[in-house]
Amino acid sequence: MDGITSFLAAAVVAGTPLLFATLGEILSERAGHLNLGVEGMMLMGAVLGFLTASATSNPILSVLAGAMGGFIGALIYAFLTIELRANQVVSGLTLSIFGAGFSSFMGKGLGGKVVPADLKAYFGPVPIPLLSDIPILGRALFNQSPFVYFGYILAIVLGIYLYKTRPGLNLRAIGESPGAADAAGINVSLYKYIHVTLGGALCGLGGAFLSLVYVPAWQEGITAGRGWIAVALVIFASWNPYKAIIGSYLFGGLDIIGFRIQGTKFAVSQYFIDMLPYIVTILVLVISSIKNSRKNSPPKGLGEAYYREER
């Protein structure tokens, strides 16, 4: 009993950075921009969040700094791809490289340094009365750090935003066909800037979670490829924030399941389990292109620069 609960709880924690990054990339891709710089933005958020924490021990400032790190990275990408119509793939990859360099540079000498103890307390688990008494699920989901709760709320808010509000509808339209959205009088450029940078901020938050809560110390390359899993998750979740919740915690579970099954009859190398998110994503992509399914396909305008006067 306890084993399952603790496993579920750990899966949620492991999945939280993925959730933030995935939600952020969903926003960006819904606006038509494939930003392969997720890893870079997460790293920038992680290092800025950690530095702020070391300097101020203030949880709010640290979290904001984390968001800022991702935001700045996304802003560079946004300016290049929206204003200057640069190639999205190359721009995103560059951001990943730049972000990795930036975080390594800023984090030099901090290796192994831990988050100040008084700050740690702010991010400790806070049980929610009543809900946390529900057996198994309650204890797993509702006895978590506020950062994790923020993740739940964020996903639901983004889901409502995307499907039940006018700006959300406009965003979906832009991702499908910026030309049609433009003709309907929507300010395509503004929407893109807002959502791409907001998406970056969320990725930064995901990185900050790693350095402030998950580890919580500074490590070089703390994201360990999670940014790329997030890119895969967006596809796996069909660009849907609600499905992103399930996917993130699922992949989070896969992340930690390795050593728990060693020695049992289900023992499979951790590395094959690690491959699963990527293989599953490929399968999802292939199947949807075979079915040419409209429901789960990428926003049609993804990857294209939009220019009104193109003849």
Partner 1 sequence: MMRFVKRAEISKTKSTLIHITSVILALLVAAVFIFISTHQNPIKVYMAMIKGAFSSRYRINEVIIAAVPLIITALGVSTAFKMKFWNIGGEGQVCMGAFAASLVALKFPTGSRPVTLILMVIAGIIGGSIWALIPAFFKAKWKTNETIVTLMLNYVAIKFIQYLQYGPWKDPKAVGFPKIANFPDEAVLPKVFGVHIGWIIAAILCVVMYIFMNHSKLGFEIAVIGESENTAQYAGMNIKRTIITAMLISGGLCGLTGMIQASAVSGTLSVDVSGGVGYTAIIIAWLSNLSAPIIALVSVLFAGLVQGAAYIQTAFSIPSSVAEMLQGTILFFVLGSEFFIQYEAIRQSKLEKMIQKEIQLECSATSHKEEVL
Partner 2 sequence: MNSVDKNLVSIKMENITKHFGKVIANKNISFEAKSGEIHALLGENGAGKSTLMNMLSGIYTPDSGSIFINGKEVNFHSPKDSIEAGIGMIHQHFKLIDVLSAKENIILGEKEGFFLSNKKDNKKIQDLCNKFGLEIDLDKKIYDMSVGEKQNVEIVKVLYRGADILIMDEPTAVLTPQEISRLFSIMKNMKKHGCTIIIITHKMNEVMTIADRITVIRGGETVGTVKKDDPNTNPKMLTELMVGRPMNLSIKRVETQKGKKVLDIKNLTALNEDNVKVLDNISFEIKEGEILGVAGVSGSGQKELCESIAGLHDVESGEIYYKDENIVGKTPREIINKGISMSFVPEDRLGMGLVAPMDIVDNLILKEYHKNKGFIIDREPSKEKAAKIVKKLDIQTPGIDFPVKKLSGGNIQKVLLGRELESDPKLLITAYPVRGLDVGATYTIYNLINEEKKKGVAVLYIGEDLDALIELCDRIMILCGGRITGIIDAKDATKEKLGLLMTGEGEESAV
Positions that interact with partner 2 (CB under 8 A): 164-167, 169-170, 172-173, 176-177, 179-187, 294-295, 300, 308-309, 311
**Chain centroid, CA 7 distance in Å:** 22
* Site for partner 1, residues 59 to 88, rule: CB under 8 A: 76, 79-80, 83-87
Which of partner 2, partner 1, none has residue 232 at its interface (CB below 5 to 8 Å by kind)? partner 1
Which of partner 1, partner 2, none has residue 183 at its interface (CB below 5 to 8 Å by kind)? partner 2
Q: Which is nearer to partner 1, 23 or 34 (CB)?
A: 34
In whole angstroms, the minimum distance from the beta carbon of 88 to partner 2 comes to: 21
CA distances to 50, 117, 220, 292 from 224, rounded to whole Å, are 17, 25, 9, 33
Which of partner 2, partner 1, none has residue 176 at its interface (CB below 5 to 8 Å by kind)? partner 2
* Site for partner 1, residues 30 to 59, rule: CB under 8 A: 34, 36
In whole angstroms, the minimum distance from the beta carbon of 37 to partner 1 comes to: 10
Binding-site member from 95, 140, 154, 212 for partner 1 (CB under 8 A)? 95
CB 182 within 8 A of CB 308: yes
Q: What are phi and psi of 29, to 5 degrees?
A: -70, -30
Residues with Cβ within 8 Å of 129's Cβ and at least 6 positions away in sequence, in order, are none
> Is position 257 an interface residue for partner 1 (rule: CB under 8 A)?
no
- Which tokens sit at 270? 């951790």
Residues with Cβ within 8 Å of 35's Cβ and at least 6 positions away in sequence, in order, are 25, 28, 29, 41, 74, 77, 88, 92, 95, 196, 199, 200
In whole angstroms, the minimum distance from the beta carbon of 153 to partner 1 comes to: 29
* Site for partner 1, residues 225 to 244, rule: CB under 8 A: 225, 228, 231-232, 235
**Separation between Cα atoms, residue 297 and residue 285, nearest integer Å:** 8
Q: How many residues bind partner 1 (CB under 8 A)?
A: 46
Q: Which is nearer to partner 1, 163 or 272 (CB)?
A: 272
User: Angle between the 241-261 and 270-291 helix axes, to the nearest 10 degrees?
Assistant: 150
Which of partner 1, partner 2, none has residue 34 at its interface (CB below 5 to 8 Å by kind)? partner 1
In whole angstroms, the minimum distance from the beta carbon of 289 to partner 2 comes to: 16
Q: Nearest to residue 12, comparing CAs of 222, 246, 230, 219?
A: 246
Q: Nearest to residue 202, comparing CAs of 261, 158, 168?
A: 158
CA distances to 92, 94, 188, 192, 273 from 83, rounded to whole Å, are 15, 17, 12, 10, 41
Which of partner 1, partner 2, none has residue 89 at its interface (CB below 5 to 8 Å by kind)? partner 1
* Site for partner 1, residues 265 to 294, rule: CB under 8 A: 269, 271-272, 274-275, 278-279, 281-282, 285-286, 289-290
> Is position 101 an interface residue for partner 1 (rule: CB under 8 A)?
yes
Which of partner 1, partner 2, none has residue 274 at its interface (CB below 5 to 8 Å by kind)? partner 1
Q: What is the number of other CB atoms lying within 10 angstroms of the CB of residue 90?
A: 12
CB 9 within 8 A of CB 127: no
**Separation between Cα atoms, residue 1 and residue 7, nearest integer Å:** 10
Q: Using CB under 8 A as the criterion, which residues of the chain lie in contact with partner 1 when the complex forms?
A: 34, 36, 76, 79-80, 83-87, 89-91, 93-102, 104-105, 108, 225, 228, 231-232, 235, 269, 271-272, 274-275, 278-279, 281-282, 285-286, 289-290, 298, 303
